[in-house]
């Protein structure tokens, strides 16, 4: 076999040189789909949106350069509402969807835990649904009638019914509950896989030193999960600031008093209702800036860059 | 000692009950949606989703509507979802596996730069680009087409990352063996390496199919006419300020979940692998 293989190559030096050149070119063919897609569907739109953010576009031929006017006119009450809703949403989803899944993962990871697979699958199921299925349920379960699921349950405890989707704070609560329902299981899966990387001996020696469960959680588990926590917080910042579909389904594209208005929702409004691509693009660039800054702060605080430079 | 054993028993029971309560929270919506889908739509407007149950008032009318309602529009949506999911998954697997493999196996000029670009695409929310992408889709005549729904995000950076992580572990000796046998580099990939990556393809197929099946923001923008909509967009269009068509909405939502649910129950491991390898261990 071996003789046969080498025998086929050695006589042709030319062929060998050709093959070598092919090995130089081949990688670029492999990565070509990414390069093409990056140029057409990422770089070009980004440049385009930067340019549009300085333009007033009234028609395909009727374009004027307006400097920073779009950025100035962008800043109004709706913009403030959208930033406030989006930031609060991002904060609360992280506030819930980091600690709760960690605890659930620690519970699931216990020795001899009964029903582990059943629980893991059940927690994961909501992630399979599209946002319309999830939105439909929460819209109807948090309805204002006194017969709806939530009003009925709270009624048992003597809590009066509410119009959940019509008030600022409860509307936020519904959005956060929806998000928790859909993504809890996914984060549990992340943290569970992170737990497998923490050596068992650390817990054993802590037990010998007489540490209780809480101390073990705070001194071993949480530090051990840090890479996963950084990852989950990063994707939550991304998901939180890019949120649109959930509020679109719960409140429609224009909610009374902007209670469900997110930044992407505002971009959508400007673009597709007001046909104002200039201001819409200015909003897009602003959102891009916000996401980058929040992520930079977050990664600096968690020491992500320190680790890289060391 | 006995008290210690008792204490740990109580702890275990408490933990079990907590997890059980969370499981109820996760699963209850499915049950309520399913039960509600047999109730008349007017009942939804009157009572919302509720504990109240009137068996006499329940029937299969909502499911009949799926076939007959509005000239069978639901069947169009279902077909569109199937086509877009299939097209998107196939394209995306083909492209991203090539890129991921190329990045993992070869050492070439610009590789690190490309890698940084991929990370940048990963952390920038695509929602920021909906307006320029919409404009671009108009010039490329992609509006209201299957290709338009699929092409802009076919080379998903997450999938590239996933295939790269998987390809790093491929045996390099096979590369040389293939070369000696006179295979081209592309030939080596398709004949030798790709078959070794089958488990990765399995995990990514499921994850990508789920993403395309549920995808919302981009199809909402690129698909315009009623019989080109996908399930999520079509169902969403039934929620209007002038009254919601809950009859078709509820049965339609339930039936739209089935395919993914069945695949998940058959192959949970692939779902979970697809999620974790791409993300955390990177």
Q: What is the pLDDT of residues A136-164, one digit of tens each?
A: 999 889 988 888 888 888 888 988 888 88
**B233 Cβ contact list (under 8 Å, min separation 6):** B77, B216, B219, B220, B223
The alpha-carbon gap from B108 to the nearest alpha carbon of chain A, in Å, equals 7
Q: Using a CB-CB distance cutoff of 8 angstroms, which residues of chain B are in contact with residue A288?
A: 124, 128
Test A31 with B99 for CB contact under 8 angstroms: yes
Q: Using a CB-CB distance cutoff of 8 angstroms, which residues of chain A are in contact with residue B19?
A: 104, 107-108, 115, 119
Name which of A7, A30, A271 to mutate to probe chain B: the one with the most chain B Cβ atoms within 10 A of its Cβ: A30
Mean pLDDT of A54-68: 85
In a domain, B239, yes or no: yes
Query: What residue in A sits closest to B189 (Cα-Cα)?
Result: A30
Going by pLDDT thresholds of 50, 70 and 90, the confidence category of residue A104 is: very high
Q: Measure CB to CB from residue B49 to each of A126, A148, A245 and give the nearest one.
A: A148
The alpha-carbon gap from B95 to the nearest alpha carbon of chain A, in Å, equals 6
Test A132 with B253 for CB contact under 8 angstroms: yes
In a domain, B81, yes or no: yes
pLDDT in tens, B197-225: 988 898 888 889 989 999 999 999 999 99
Query: What residue in B sits closest to A134 (Cα-Cα)?
Result: B29
Q: In the structure encoding, which two tokens stand for residue B220, read together?
A: 């909402």
User: Is there a contact between B125 and B184 (Cβ–Cβ < 8 Å)?
Assistant: no
Query: What residue in A sits closest to B266 (Cα-Cα)?
Result: A121
**A276 Cβ contact list (under 8 Å, min separation 6):** A57, A270
What does the radius of gyration of chain A's CA atoms come to, in whole angstroms? 26
Per-residue model confidence (pLDDT) at position A2 = 40
Test B155 with A104 for CB contact under 8 angstroms: no
Q: Measure CB to CB from residue B114 to each of A31, A107, A144 and give the nearest one.
A: A31
Query: What residue in A sits closest to B222 (Cα-Cα)?
Result: A272
- What span, in angstroms and rounded, lies between the C-alpha atoms of A247 and A168? 13
The alpha-carbon gap from B205 to the nearest alpha carbon of chain A, in Å, equals 14
Per-residue model confidence (pLDDT) at position B88 = 96
**Distance, C-alpha B251 to centroid of its chain:** 20
Give me the helices (H) in chain A, please: 2-9, 13-38, 44-52, 69-74, 77-97, 99-108, 116-124, 131-141, 149-156, 168-195, 200-208, 213-216, 222-224, 226-241, 245-251, 263-272, 277-301, 304-309
A43 pLDDT more than 90: yes
Q: Using a CB-CB distance cutoff of 8 angstroms, which residues of chain A are in contact with residue B182?
A: 8-9
- What span, in angstroms and rounded, lies between the C-alpha atoms of B123 and A149? 38
Q: Measure CB to CB from residue B48 to each of A145, A238, A271 and give the nearest one.
A: A145
- What span, in angstroms and rounded, lies between the C-alpha atoms of A231 and A243? 18
Across all residues in chain A, what is the average pLDDT? 87
3-state secondary structure of A56: strand
Q: Which CATH number goes with the domain that contains B134?
A: 1.10.3720.10
Per-residue model confidence (pLDDT) at position A10 = 46
Phi, psi of A161 (to 5 degrees): -70, 155
Q: Measure CB to CB from residue B32 to each of A40, A118, A141 and give the nearest one.
A: A141
Q: Which residue has the tokens 């149950």?
A: B53
Query: What residue in B sits closest to A51 (Cα-Cα)?
Result: B132
What is residue A148's DSSP assignment? B
Phi, psi of A65 (to 5 degrees): -80, 125
pLDDT in tens, A195-241: 988 998 888 888 888 888 889 898 999 999 998 998 899 889 889 99
Test B23 with A41 for CB contact under 8 angstroms: no
ipTM of this complex: 0.89
Test A148 with B272 for CB contact under 8 angstroms: no
- What span, in angstroms and rounded, lies between the C-alpha atoms of B195 and B199? 9
Q: Using a CB-CB distance cutoff of 8 angstroms, which residues of chain B are in contact with residue A148?
A: 47-50
Name which of B10, B13, B19 to mutate to probe chain A: the one with the most chain A Cβ atoms within 10 A of its Cβ: B19
Q: Using a CB-CB distance cutoff of 8 angstroms, which residues of chain B are in contact with residue A27?
A: 102, 105-106, 108, 111
In a domain, B212, yes or no: yes
Name which of B242, B280, B281, B282 to mutate to probe chain A: the one with the most chain A Cβ atoms within 10 A of its Cβ: B280
- What span, in angstroms and rounded, lies between the C-alpha atoms of B230 and B208? 16
Across all residues in chain B, what is the average pLDDT? 88
Domain boundaries, chain A: 2-52, 70-309
Per-residue model confidence (pLDDT) at position A129 = 92
3-state secondary structure of B50: strand
Test B32 with A149 for CB contact under 8 angstroms: yes
- What span, in angstroms and rounded, lies between the C-alpha atoms of A56 and A270? 13
A11 pLDDT more than 70: no
Test B271 with A104 for CB contact under 8 angstroms: no
User: Residue B141's CB: how many other CB atoms inside 10 A?
Assistant: 10
In a domain, B187, yes or no: yes
B152 pLDDT more than 70: yes
- What span, in angstroms and rounded, lies between the C-alpha atoms of A238 and B123? 7
Going by pLDDT thresholds of 50, 70 and 90, the confidence category of residue B1 is: low
In a domain, B124, yes or no: yes
Domain that holds residue B236: 60-279
Test A141 with B241 for CB contact under 8 angstroms: no
Per-residue model confidence (pLDDT) at position B76 = 94
> Looking at chain B, how many residues does it have?
282
Test A8 with B48 for CB contact under 8 angstroms: no
Per-residue model confidence (pLDDT) at position A7 = 43
B171 pLDDT more than 50: yes
In a domain, B143, yes or no: yes
Segment holding B236, helix H or strand E: helix B231-237
In a domain, B45, yes or no: no
Test A49 with B117 for CB contact under 8 angstroms: no
In a domain, B165, yes or no: yes
User: Is there a contact between B178 and B187 (Cβ–Cβ < 8 Å)?
Assistant: yes
Q: How far is CA B167 from CA A141, B105, B108, B219, B282, in A?
A: 46, 7, 16, 32, 13
Mean pLDDT of A245-250: 92
Per-residue model confidence (pLDDT) at position A38 = 96
Please give the tally of structural domains in chain B: 1
Q: Measure CB to CB from residue B128 to each of A137, A228, A287 and give the nearest one.
A: A287
Instruction: Select A70-309's CATH number: 1.10.3720.10, 1.25.40.340, 1.10.10.10, 1.20.210.10.
Output: 1.10.3720.10
């Amino acid at each position: 076999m071996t003789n046969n293989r080498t025998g086929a190559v050695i006589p042709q030096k030319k062929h060998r040189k050709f093959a070598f050149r092919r090995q130089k070119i081949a990688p670029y063919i492999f990565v070509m789909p990414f390069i093409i897609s990056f140029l057409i569907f990422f770089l070009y739109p980004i440049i385009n949106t930067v340019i549009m953010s300085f333009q007033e576009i009234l028609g395909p031929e009727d374009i004027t350069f307006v400097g920073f006017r779009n950025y100035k006119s962008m800043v109004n009450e709706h913009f403030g509402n959208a930033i406030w809703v989006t930031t609060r949403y991002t904060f609360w989803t992280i506030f819930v969807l980091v600690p709760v899944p960690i605890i659930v993962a620690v519970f699931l990871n216990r020795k001899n835990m009964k029903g582990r697979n059943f629980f893991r699958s059940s927690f994961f199921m909501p992630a399979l649904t599209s946002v319309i299925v999830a939105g439909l349920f929460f819209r109807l379960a948090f309805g204002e009638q006194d017969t709806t699921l939530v009003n009925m349950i709270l009624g048992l405890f003597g809590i009066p019914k509410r119009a959940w989707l019509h008030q600022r704070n409860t509307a936020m609560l519904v959005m956060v509950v929806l998000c928790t329902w859909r993504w809890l299981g996914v984060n549990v899966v992340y943290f569970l896989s992170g737990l497998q990387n923490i050596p068992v001996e650390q817990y054993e020696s802590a037990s010998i030193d007489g540490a209780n469960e809480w101390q073990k959680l705070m001194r071993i588990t949480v530090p051990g999960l840090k890479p996963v926590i950084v990852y989950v917080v990063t994707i939550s910042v991304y998901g939180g600031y890019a949120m649109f579909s959930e509020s679109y389904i719960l409140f429609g594209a224009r909610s009374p008093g902007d209670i469900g208005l997110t930044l992407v929702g505002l971009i959508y409004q400007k673009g597709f209702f007001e046909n104002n691509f200039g201001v819409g693009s200015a909003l897009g660039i602003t959102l891009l800036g916000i996401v980058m800054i929040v992520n930079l702060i977050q990664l600096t605080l968690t020491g992500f860059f320190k680790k890289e430079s060391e | 000692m006995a008290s210690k054993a008792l204490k740990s028993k109580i702890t275990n029971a408490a933990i079990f009950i907590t997890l059980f309560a969370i499981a109820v929270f996760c699963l209850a919506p499915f049950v309520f949606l399913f039960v509600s889908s047999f109730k008349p739509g007017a009942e939804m407007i009157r009572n919302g989703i509720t504990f109240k149950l009137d068996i006499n008032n329940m029937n299969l009318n909502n499911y009949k509507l799926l076939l007959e309602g509005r000239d069978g529009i639901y069947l169009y949506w279902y077909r569109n979802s199937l086509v877009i999911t299939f097209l998107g998954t196939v394209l995306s697997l083909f492209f991203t596996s090539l890129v991921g493999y190329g990045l993992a196996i070869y050492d070439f000029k610009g590789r690190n730069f490309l890698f940084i670009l991929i990370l940048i695409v990963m952390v920038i929310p695509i929602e920021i680009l909906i307006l320029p992408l919409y404009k671009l889709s108009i010039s490329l005549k992609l509006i209201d087409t299957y290709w338009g729904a699929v092409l802009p995000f076919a080379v998903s950076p997450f999938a590239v990352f996933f295939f790269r992580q998987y390809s790093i572990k491929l045996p390099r000796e096979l590369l040389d063996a293939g070369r000696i046998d006179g295979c081209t580099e592309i030939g080596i990939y398709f004949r030798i390496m790709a078959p070794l990556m089958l488990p990765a393809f399995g995990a990514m197929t499921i994850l990508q199919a789920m993403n395309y099946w549920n995808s919302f923001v981009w199809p909402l923008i690129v698909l315009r006419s009623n019989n080109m909509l996908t399930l999520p967009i079509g169902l969403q269009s039934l929620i209007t300020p002038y009254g919601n068509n809950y009859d078709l909405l509820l049965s339609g939502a339930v039936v739209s979940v089935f395919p993914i649910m069945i695949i998940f129950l058959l192959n949970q491991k692939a779902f979970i692998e697809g999620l974790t390898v791409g993300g955390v261990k990177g």
